[in-house]
Amino acid sequence: MLGFLNLNKPAGLTSHDCVAKVRKMLKIKRVGHGGTLDPAATGVLPIAIGKATRLLQFLPTAKAYHARIRFGVKMTTDDLEGEIIATKSTADLSLEKIEPHLSNFLGKIEQIPPAYSAIQREGKRMYELARAGEKVEVPSRIVEVTKLEILAWYPGEFPELEVAINCGGGTYIRAIARDLGEAVGTGGTLVNLMRTESCGLNLADSLTFEELSDRLTEGTFELTSPEQVLSHLPRVTLASSEAKRWCQGQKINLSQEKKSSLFVQVYGEESFLGIGEIVASEKEQLLLPKVVLAS
C-alpha cells in the first residue's frame, strides 16, 4: 500500500492514537501522520500509509482552521484542556472593540507557542516538562497567517468569537486565542478547533473512522495518490532507461526546461518513482535521487 488517508479526526484522540487505530484497521505497520492535532481538536489529519511515510516531509505546509475563542478566561494550556488561571466577566466586550486588533495577527508574526505543546527540548516534549512542574520558557518563532476572517460573534458574560484562519506550518491557534485575549485586555482561550485543510487535503473529502470501516468492509476504500498530495511540486517524467538508472541511485542530466523548485515528483513512463532533488549549474541541470519508492 502506498498513499494517503484523509482522516477526519474525532475529539478525544491524540494524533498518535489515530495512527495506531489506522494501523490496526488497515493491518499495516508502516503508518504516520502529517501534522499533530491536539486531542480536543477535530478535522483533517493526513495519514501516510506504507512507503508514503517517506513523503511526509515534502507535503505542503499550509493549513486552515475554524476556531472558537472565549474571552474573559485564561487557561494554563490556552484551551479548555488545562486549569483555569483567571476569569473576568467581559459582558461589555463587543465585536467592534476586537476588530481593530485582528490585523496584528496577519502576515508574518512573532508567536510564543503554548507551554503545553509538543515542541521538543532536550529530547522531551514541552507538555511533559510543564506537567512535571518544571518552569518552561518557550522561545518565540516567526509564523505566517494569511487569512483571519470573522465567522460569528456570540455575546454574553464570556463572549465568544468564531474565526476562519489560514496559516503556515508551526502556527499555534491556541496562541492566537491567548494573544488576542491579551490584546483586548480580557484574556482569551481556545474552546473549539476544527482543521479544515492540511497538506493539500480538505475536510469535505475526509473520512471518519466509521466511514473508513464501512468502506473497508465493502471493499471500496482507496488511498489518495501521492500525485494528488504532491501536486505543489513540479513533475519530471523519465524514459524507461533513465528511470532505471535513477532508481539505482544515479544522477540524470535533464535537458528539459529548468525547474524553479528544489524538489520534484519523479515518474517513469507508467508510475510514480519518488522524489528527486534538482542541482543546477550554468551548464547543466542534474536530477538526483532523494526518495526512491520504486523497486
Whether residue 255 has pLDDT greater than 80: no
Q: Virtual CA dihedral for 265, 268, 274, 280, nearest 10 degrees?
A: -50
Measured distance CA(222)–CA(215) in Å, rounded: 9
Our CA dihedral for 122, 124, 126, 132, rounded to 10 degrees, sits at -110
Percent of the chain residues past pLDDT 70, beyond the cut: 91
251 band by pLDDT with thresholds 50, 70 and 90: very high
- How far apart are the C-alpha atoms of 153 and 159, rounded to whole Å? 8
Closest CA to 38 of 55, 60, 58, 15: 15
pLDDT at 273: 96
Residue 101 CB burial class (10 angstroms; 0-12, 13-18, ≥19)? middle
CATH of the domain spanning 2-60+200-228: 3.30.2350.10
- Indicate if 63-198 has the same CATH topology as 2-60+200-228: yes
Q: What is the pLDDT of residue 283?
A: 77
- Asked if the model's pLDDT at residue 41 lies above 90, the reply is yes
Stretch among 44-48, 127-131, 151-155, 177-181 having the lowest mean pLDDT:
127-131
Residue 92 known to be catalytic: no
pLDDT for residue 161: 98
CB 23 within 8 A of CB 31: yes
Q: How confident is the model at residue 72 (pLDDT cuts 50, 70, 90)?
A: very high
Q: What is the pLDDT of residues 177-196, one digit of tens each?
A: 999 999 999 999 999 999 99
pLDDT at 115: 76
> In the chain, where are the structural domains located?
2-60+200-228, 63-198, 233-292
pLDDT at 11 over 90: yes
User: For residue 227, is pLDDT > 80?
Assistant: yes
Architecture per CATH, 233-292: Roll (2.30)
Average pLDDT, the chain: 91
The answer to whether residue 123 scores a pLDDT higher than 80 is no
Is the CB of residue 161 less than 8 Å from the CB of residue 176?
Answer: no
Q: List the catalytic residue out of 38, 78, 79, 179.
A: 38
Q: How many CA atoms lie within 13 A of 207 on its CB side?
A: 20
Q: Examine the pLDDT at 197 and tell me if it is beyond 90.
A: yes
CATH class of the structural domain 63-198: alpha beta
